Homo-oligomer: A and B are copies of this chain.
């Protein structure tokens, strides 16, 4: 008639301790590989725990004020183009350590963002990763004075934050250099609106390789825009280009389609490279698009590892980390 006798659903550490004939304290230490005890005792406890299928209650653990084994991912990319690869990378490392990820999609809605962030803080997340669909825009919420570490991925953070972005300059350089190496001499760049930071970075990298012959066409991020520019280039007085580096895959697909319709052969007459390596577009283009992949998954992985390190109290130098892009070769050049 003494001691807790609850026959609840889950086995608690109390049950393990009782079964192993030790105290709760010893059981806890045995399972966490801390404290001093005979190797034999430790082993016995572990075995009993495994046998009973014991899994520690994360709530109780979290209550002690230590880790909650939980991180939050904030994003305004409801479409998922960037978020899901990122997400896959983020949870890759953490899940092995028992860490789960809260995904919060706030859609440029400051109030919604606040609700989500508050909920995350209530749940004592170990850290937050902020991510967006556009590198040069901040999320509509201030994360700078939170009690938990914050890491930015694919979105702009405050100056002293840890930020992960893809190395668009390197990716663009490789793409253009690849065109050059294929013997292309007149290479133009068709890309998005000048107001995007990534547009500027990519354009500068293109310019650095091409020099003064550089020719940049800004406009919408759409297939239609690809058609438009091709029409202008081929119907104009100047010699049309033999290489086209596009700011994203949608433009590139428009370009390739427009060229095919004009009877211009890709890649024989003109080589085309896209950016984003959006499988659904790049692979369906005829011919399939060579494109720059931003390695979002890897980016997510790094961000996940970093926020975990910060949560564990490790020091991480603030600054912007550029992760390399990779040129994915297909038949368009």
Contacts and interface: CB of A to CB of B under 8 A. Distances in A.
Interface of A: 9-10, 55-60, 62-63, 68-70, 72-73, 78-81, 83-85, 87-88, 91, 95-96, 98-105, 107, 112, 115-116, 118-124, 147, 222-224, 250, 253, 257, 261, 279-281, 284
A222 B224 CA distance: 21
Contacts of A79: 84, 279
A53 to B, nearest CB: 10
A123 B100 contact: yes
Contacts of A123: 58-59, 69-70, 100
B59 A250 contact: no
Contact of A63 (B57, B81, B118): B57
A147 to B, nearest CB: 5
Given A87-B105, A124-B59, A95 B116 contact: yes
A261 B258 CA distance: 12
A250 to B, nearest CB: 7
Contacts of A57: 63, 122, 124
A312 to B, nearest CB: 18
Name the residue in A62, A96, A115, A123 with the highest tally of chain B Cβ atoms < 10 Å from its Cβ: A123
Nearest to A281: B280
A121 B87 contact: no
Given A80-B80, A100-B120, A101-B102, 8 more contacts: A55-B121, A59-B68, A80-B81, A83-B84, A88-B105, A98-B119, A99-B119, A101-B104
A245 to B, nearest CB: 20
A95 B250 CA distance: 34
A61 B105 CA distance: 25
A113 to B, nearest CB: 11
A115 B95 contact: yes
Nearest to A278: B280
Nearest to A84: B80
Contacts of A223: 284
Contacts of A63: 57, 59-60, 63
A209 to B, nearest CB: 29
Given A9-B147, A281-B280, A58 B104 contact: no
A62 B69 CA distance: 15
Contacts of A280: 250, 280-281
A122 B120 CA distance: 18
Nearest to A68: B59
Contacts of A85: 78, 80
B88 A122 contact: no
Contacts of A257: 257
A79 B118 CA distance: 29
A48 to B, nearest CB: 18
A160 to B, nearest CB: 20
B105 A284 contact: no
Contacts of A72: 100
Contacts of A87: 103, 105
A115 B97 CA distance: 10
Nearest to A9: B147
Nearest to A99: B119
